[in-house]
Chains A and B, each alone.
Chain A
């Protein structure tokens, strides 16, 4: 495996981890555009724009885009997050150029009003679909509760109202400010011909203009709040909690990952033994999420409505015990073994290496090998975990619960 990178004159960067032994390759265009870059008036525009990029360009109709991706057998898709919109394709190596041609082209969409109106319906259906899945919307709500007005608390999907009101002109303005040469980069992994890749990207994106877009990166001032949302049609009761955690640029993020594994992995963790093994909850897990400037420890639990208070008390105790009594050597060893094996297993697929390479470049403009990640995990000590707990106590958290229960007592 070899890392290669190149910067075009207009600022567009190309990074790749090439692996001659791979059978396939993955390529992605990543745009630094997500809900954290939006305002209330255009809430949901990043995600809507992602859909619109598949609706046709000056060179291709929407049908052409779909058909040509299928003709090269691409496994392709796109997603939008709080800080990134990603367009990607996994293909056989002989289709590298066609996949670059398609991805580069759809990042210059026509944004025709008729397509805009049609796709608006699909987005509104997507919102309706999630509304039938009770915890939906609460991931946005818990971020608002905990992070207040911080840009990371913004919803990726937007609301039915904001999507209905959005105009093509607002989307064009947003597009011009975000999809510029210096705000997009190309990542690739697997059996990549890098020299050809640079030429292929340069030929298609060399005339894209830079726009020097700004992004507000600030840390959040969090609060610890508690809210109950009544959803009488739900069957289960859902709990989401947020606590502060190391951010994407913090060196202690590896310690945070291991801590989350010990406390709340979906198997073998403290939450597993306290809540899942006894059958008290259907799911209970803690994850570490990292963004620029902000990190989150994110707890997710689903259980029978009658059990919610007792389960909230159990979570409360798990958090307090971790803060007060710390972690054991055995727990750390087990978490390292588990997480390191996951790193190796997932590295076998070019597509997961693509997201690793792309994610590291997006957040830190750095490349990390599998060996680098394994070493960083190995180097974490108990003291590091305890330092994270002191700096970001798990017991300082916000909670939201949604389900059939009208009232729920706050724990502690």
Chain B
């Protein structure tokens, strides 16, 4: 697993991170731009998403059709996503096509047309996505859970809201683009088969003259939402539980992460065993550590038929309480085996590596090699995790439900 991670900062503040791995035929990239929905004005919820949608409608010398067909002729598999802090464009292609593909993305990021005559089309695409969430109750619940768990704007969903999407003008989109698509805070990570020196030259050529502008801090606006039950016509009840934990950059992060792993990684983990295997209460149950740069939560989910929802909630909460009492060595041993194979399998995917490099850089200001992560995992012990859990047991549980009936939340929790 011994590969080298290299980095280069452009004069305008943009960062390039690379992990050359010559055994691949491919190279993958992940481009984080500081244009997440935390910057949506409160009356323009969904603006970051609509801007990202509009970015794809022509850039540089190409209209949208030519841009897409040129990219596809290069065999680029691509996607984009809008999160709270970032909008991310990512892709993977054959090694020889990396340079022209990055050229196309430089146009997209620096010279988008943002055509007024396509605003309605872009808006409709966003509205369609927003509507689809109503048909995915588990997804809808987790959105509501995050909105209630974090202070605004950090719990937002990027999809926005219908009235604000309808009110958005092309000037809003262009202003958002001008303010938030900027080199300061932009991170481009590349993993796979490429030559580092040539990549640095190429990125300097494509982005070196991108003018920096002032960093804009998001303003916290709205207060917390009231009401922790969302009435919904569904055959299942959907239960979400959140509690605070420490973010990725915290020195004890791996302790917190491993504790959640004991709860929910693998089918011998506690939640799967107690909720699904022993009691047959549900098909899906999980907990995961959701980290932002400055705050983090453990988010749990279970979906079950309405008449068994109360028992599911009770069993899940009792497992969270029990986690606070500590874990066993054998549980950690299994978890370490799973993490070790995950790390090695991550090394078999250039897309997974480029995504991890970019995220690392955002959280830490540097990227960890898989060897470094391995060492951190090896250092975990049942004792260190239990010390952490002793000081930070799951507490301040927030329970949000979505379904036909509200559930009874135990006293002292909410």
* Those of A54-111 within 8 Å (CB) of chain B: 54, 62-63, 66-67, 69-75, 90-92
CB distance from A6 to the nearest CB of B (A): 26
A277 touching B64, Cβ below 8 Å: yes
Minimum CB–CB distance from A278 to chain B (whole Å) comes to 5
Q: Is the CB of B121 within 8 A of A281?
A: no
Contact across chains for A344 and B94 when beta carbons are under 8 A apart: yes
B309 to chain A, nearest CB (A): 11
Cross-chain contact B340 with A345 (CB below 8 angstroms): no
Q: Is there contact, CB below 8 Å, between B77 and A66?
A: no
Is there a chain B Cβ closer than 8 Å to A215's Cβ?
no
Known: A125-B305, A334-B73, A337-B74. A73 touches B283 (CB 8 A): no
Give CA–CA (A91, B124) in the complex, Å.
44
A residues in contact with B350, CB < 8 Å: 348
Q: Are B234 and A334 in contact, with the CB atoms below 8 A?
A: no
B344: Cβ under 8 A from any A Cβ: yes
User: What total of chain A residues lie within 8 Å of the partner, measured CB to CB?
Assistant: 64
Which B residue's beta carbon lies closest to that of A55? B277
- A73→B339 contact, CB < 8 A: yes
User: Shortest Cβ distance from B403 into chain A, in angstroms?
Assistant: 9
| Complex Cα gap A66–B268 (Å) | 5
With A277-B121, A279-B124 known to touch, is A236 a contact of B341 (CB < 8 Å)?
no
Indicate if the CB atoms of A128 and B135 lie closer than 8 Å: no
The size bracket of the interface on B is 35 or more
CB-CB under 8 A from A112, the residues of chain B are: none
- In Å, the complex CA distance between A22 and B345 comes to 10
Chain A residues positioned under 8 Å from B94 (CB to CB)? 341, 344-345
| Interface pair B303/A129, CB less than 8 Å apart | yes
Q: How far is the CA of A304 from the CA of B127 in the complex (A)?
A: 9
Contact with A267, one of B72, B334, B339 (Cβ below 8 angstroms): B72
| B225-257, CB < 8 A from A | 233-236
Interface string of B109-127 (1 = CB under 8 A from A): 0000000000011111111
Residues 339-363 of chain B: 1 if any A CB is under 8 Å from the residue's CB, otherwise 0? Answer: 1111011011110000000000000
Q: How many residue pairs between the two chains, A and B, have CB atoms under 8 Å in the bound complex?
A: 187
Task: Report whether B280 and A92 are in contact in the complex, using a CB–CB cutoff of 8 Å.
Answer: no
Q: Which residue, A131, A133, A279, A349, has most C-beta atoms of chain B within 10 A? A: A279
Contact status of A129 and B26, CB under 8 A, knowing A62-B277, A273-B65, A279-B124: no
A122 touches B74 (CB 8 A): no
Contacts of B65 in A (CB 8 A): 273
A193 to B348, CA, bound (A): 19
Assess whether A24 is in contact with B235, with CB atoms less than 8 Å apart. Answer: no
A90 touching B128, Cβ below 8 Å: no
Q: Which residue of A lies closest to B347 (CB)?
A: A23
Q: How far is the CB of B372 from chain A (nearest CB, A)?
A: 17
| Known A-B contacts A24-B344, A73-B339, A268-B68; A132 and B268 likewise in contact (beta carbons under 8 Å) | no
Judge whether A282 and B349 touch: CB under 8 Å.
no
Are A348 and B75 touching (Cβ within 8 A)?
A: no
Write out, one digit per residue, whether chain A residues 336-360 have a CB within 8 A of any chain B CB (1) or not (0): 0110111011001111000000000
User: When the two chains form the complex, which single residue of A66, A303, A344 contacts B26, counting CB atoms closer than 8 Å?
Assistant: A344
**B72 to A268, Cβ gap below 8 A?**
yes
With a cutoff of 8 Å between Cβ atoms, the chain A residues found around residue B269 in the complex are 70
Q: Bound state CA distance, A210 and B80, in angstroms?
A: 50
Pair A133/B345 contact, Cβ less than 8 Å: no
**Shortest distance between the CB of B59 and any CB in chain A (Å):** 15
> Are A348's CB and B132's CB within 8 A?
no
Is B171 positioned at the interface, with any CB of A under 8 Å from its CB?
no
Contact (A70, B267) CB under 8 Å given A128-B236, A277-B64, A281-B128: yes
Give chain B nearest CB distance to A304 CB in angstroms: 7
Q: CB-defined interface of B28-48 with A at 8 Å, one 1/0 digit per residue?
A: 000000000000000000000
- Give the distance in Å from the alpha carbon of A126 to the alpha carbon of B276 in the complex: 11
Q: Is the CB of A75 within 8 A of B341?
A: yes
Pairwise interchain contact B348-A69, C-beta atoms closer than 8 A = no
A98 vs B236: C-alpha distance in the bound complex, in angstroms? Answer: 38
Establish whether residues A333 and B280, one from each chain, have CB atoms under 8 Å apart when the complex forms.
no
Chain A hits for B73, CB < 8 A: 333-334, 337-338
Interface centre among A71, A73, A267, A278 (most CB of B within 10 A): A73
- Sample of 7 A–B contacts (CB below 8 Å): A24-B341, A73-B341, A73-B342, A92-B341, A267-B78, A337-B74, A338-B75
Residue numbers of B with Cβ under 8 A of A are: 1, 23-26, 57, 64-65, 68-69, 72-78, 92-94, 97, 120-129, 131-132, 134-137, 233-236, 266-269, 272-273, 276-277, 279-284, 303-305, 333-342, 344-345, 347-350
A contact residues vs B (CB 8 Å cutoff):
21-24, 54, 62-63, 66-67, 69-75, 90-92, 118-122, 124-126, 128-129, 131-134, 233-236, 267-268, 273, 276-282, 302-304, 330, 333-334, 337-338, 340-342, 344-345, 348-351
Q: 16 more A-B contacts (CB under 8 A) besides A302-B132, A338-B75?
A: A66-B268, A66-B277, A75-B345, A119-B280, A132-B137, A132-B235, A133-B137, A235-B134, A236-B132, A267-B68, A268-B69, A279-B128, A344-B25, A344-B26, A348-B24, A348-B348
